[in-house]
Every structure is written in C-alpha cells, then in structure tokens.
Amino acid sequence: MDQAGIIRDLLVWLESHLDQPLSLDNVAAKSGYSKWHLQRMFKDVTGHAIGAYIRGRRLSKAAVALRLTSRPILDIALQYRFDSQQTFTRAFKKQFSQTPAWYRRSSDWKAFGLRPPIRLDNYVMPEPTWVNLPETQLVGSTQCYSCTLEQISSFRDEMRLQFWRQFLTETDTVPPILYGLNQARPSSDKDDEQEILYTTAVLSDQMSSKLQATQTVILEAGDYVQFTYKGLRCGLQEFVLQIYGTCMPTLGLTRRKGQDIERFYTHGGKRRPEPPTDIHCEYLIPIRRQPE
C-alpha cells in the first residue's frame, strides 16, 4: 500500500478513537511503523504534525459537546484525554480564542477554531448557496426525542422516517414540497444528551385535512447557507455531518439561532407504500452574514 493509502486508513482509525489514549507509541503500533517514520510520513502526506492534528480534532469534538450538551466542562475535558480542566481550558483558548465556558454561552456558534478532519479520498466539498428567506407560514407537527452525541446519526435517520410516516399516514397524495425543521438543545434531564425538536410541515396552501398537522409553524426570515443533497435517503445524515464538520469551518461561517431547514422535493403524486430510496433535499442552516 502506498503512503497516502496508509495515512488515509490511519486517519479513519484516529477519528473513531479520539476519546482513547493516543500516544505516539500507540498510534505507531497501530500503523506498523516506527514513530519516527510515522511522523515523517504523516507530515509528508497531510502537511500536518500528527500530534497537533490529534489535539485539534479532540478540541473540535469537545467544542461540539460544549454546544450540544450540558455536560460539565471537566467531564468533556477528561473524555478527550486532557488531564485537568485547567489544561483543557488553556488548549481550548489557544485554538478558539475564548474559554470553554464562554464558547458554550455564546448565542452564535462561530466556526472559527473548528478543525475539519483531513480527507484523502478525493473528497469534493458540497457547493454552498447563499439565500435570504422571507418569513413563511407552514402547517405541521413537532416531535421531540433525546440522544447522545454518539447516537445522533442513527437516531436522526430513524426518527426522521418515523415522524414523516406519522405525518403522512392518512393522506393519499404527497405534497410536492415537504419541510423538516430541526433544532438541538441540551437535554434538561441528562447532561450527556441533547434534545432534538423535529417538525414535519408543508406550506399552508398545500395543507390537506388528512395530514397529521397540529400547529402553525413560522419559517424565520433571514440569511441561510444552503447545500443540496441528491442520493440515498440513508446518506442524508452523513451529508449533514459533513456540512457541520467540514463545510461550516472551511467557509468560516457563524451559525445564528434558529432551526435548520430540510426542504424535500417529492414526486408530488399518489402516496407510495414505501418511502423513497433516493431523495432530493435542500439543507439550509441559519447564518449571520459578515459585512462585506
């Protein structure tokens, strides 16, 4: 295997072991090379020092946990292998230019400081589109569930499908556009979980008496960044993780308060017995545009 292939496999392994001991000796043993050769090979292929890369990714994971859970800062620090809250705070402030406590309390979520995972698989970043939405009235129904950060991918896919089935259960025809609105917040019951609010909705003029809608929903006016997904339904959540993990920090965007919007384009006809395997979805994130 060539050097790029070796480092590509190692990067995948590192990403799933960031909360485990990752001394240079451990990582070298995993790679099958001496630590001196591994350090040189990693730097040649990625342009980064392996120790600095691991620390940057750990701090980025910790930043997500700070924003999406209520876990004590010390617990997050220990999970990502910092020996004390003080050590974690110093490293965090160096990367994000603010303390963990301030980062958690900020109303906006700035992508500054987040380090995307390195990709060596000819990865092409989804193309962003900048849109300004007017306030729009929808009709829909909101559901709620809780999960840990580790469960988020599998849970969101399962819950999204379950909620859409409930929403469309009685209707014979599917509206041409369906909206899914989701928002995460720290759980009020468990500090290691986040609470997900997911709203299934349609435009008010497309409302059918057979849809399971219980509330009027207002789409907030404002600036959004939009990414388009066309592919397997089961791949949507991985696409969303790429947006937040790679696109937002690469573009240097700031997420403001508000709900993420999923805009699904359907066949717009008679309801089919099974949900579609392939979907077309525009995913919009509320952002604060910087003055030009």
pLDDT over 80 at 206, yes or no: no
pLDDT, average across residues 196-204: 90
The residue with tokens 């592919």 is 231
Q: How far apart are the first and last CA of the chain?
A: 47
The residue with tokens 């990502």 is 80
The pLDDT, as a whole number, for residue 213 is 65
- Rounded Cα distance between 253 and 243, Å, is 11
Residues 6+ apart with CB under 8 A from 177: 202, 203, 206, 263, 264, 265, 266
Where do runs of H (alpha helix) occur along 148-264? Answer: 152-167, 236-242, 248-251
User: Does residue 89 or residue 270 have the better pLDDT?
Assistant: 89
How do residues 66-101 score in pLDDT, each as one tens digit?
Answer: 998 999 999 999 999 999 999 999 999 999 999 999
The pLDDT, as a whole number, for residue 164 is 84
How do residues 3-55 score in pLDDT, each as one tens digit?
Answer: 888 999 999 999 999 999 998 888 988 888 898 999 999 999 999 999 999 99
The pLDDT, as a whole number, for residue 211 is 65
pLDDT over 80 at 228, yes or no: yes
In CATH, 3-106 is 3.40.50.300: no
The pLDDT, as a whole number, for residue 272 is 76
The pLDDT, as a whole number, for residue 95 is 98
Domain boundaries, the chain: 3-106, 129-286
Q: What are phi and psi of 31, to 5 degrees?
A: -75, -25
| Proportion of the chain above pLDDT 70, given as a percent | 96
The pLDDT, as a whole number, for residue 289 is 82
How do residues 131-173 score in pLDDT, each as one tens digit?
Answer: 999 999 999 889 998 888 888 877 888 888 888 888 787 777 8
The pLDDT, as a whole number, for residue 207 is 64
The residue with tokens 């962003």 is 128
- Rounded Cα distance between 170 and 172, Å, is 7
The pLDDT, as a whole number, for residue 268 is 76
The Cα diameter of the chain in Å comes to 68
Instruction: Tell me the residue length of the chain.
Output: 292
Count Cβ atoms below 10 Å from residue 288 Cβ, excluding itself: 15
Domain 129-286, CATH homologous superfamily name and number: Regulatory factor, effector binding domain (3.20.80.10)
Comparing CA positions, the residue from 200, 252, 249, 254 lying closest to residue 224 is 254
Residue 203: exposed, middle, or buried by beta-carbon count in 10 A (0-12, 13-18, 19+)?
middle
How many CA atoms does the CB half-sphere of 233 hold within 13 Å? 16
The single-letter DSSP state of residue 274 is S
The pLDDT, as a whole number, for residue 168 is 80
The pLDDT, as a whole number, for residue 48 is 95
Query: pLDDT-based confidence at 284, cuts 50/70/90?
Result: very high
Average pLDDT across the chain, whole number? 90
Least confident of 48-62, 163-177, 202-216, 233-247: 202-216
CB of 223 closer than 8 Å to CB of 289: yes
pLDDT over 80 at 252, yes or no: yes
- Rounded Cα distance between 103 and 27, Å, is 30
- Dihedral sign for Cα 10, 11, 15, 21, please: positive
The two structure tokens encoding residue 159: 């819950």
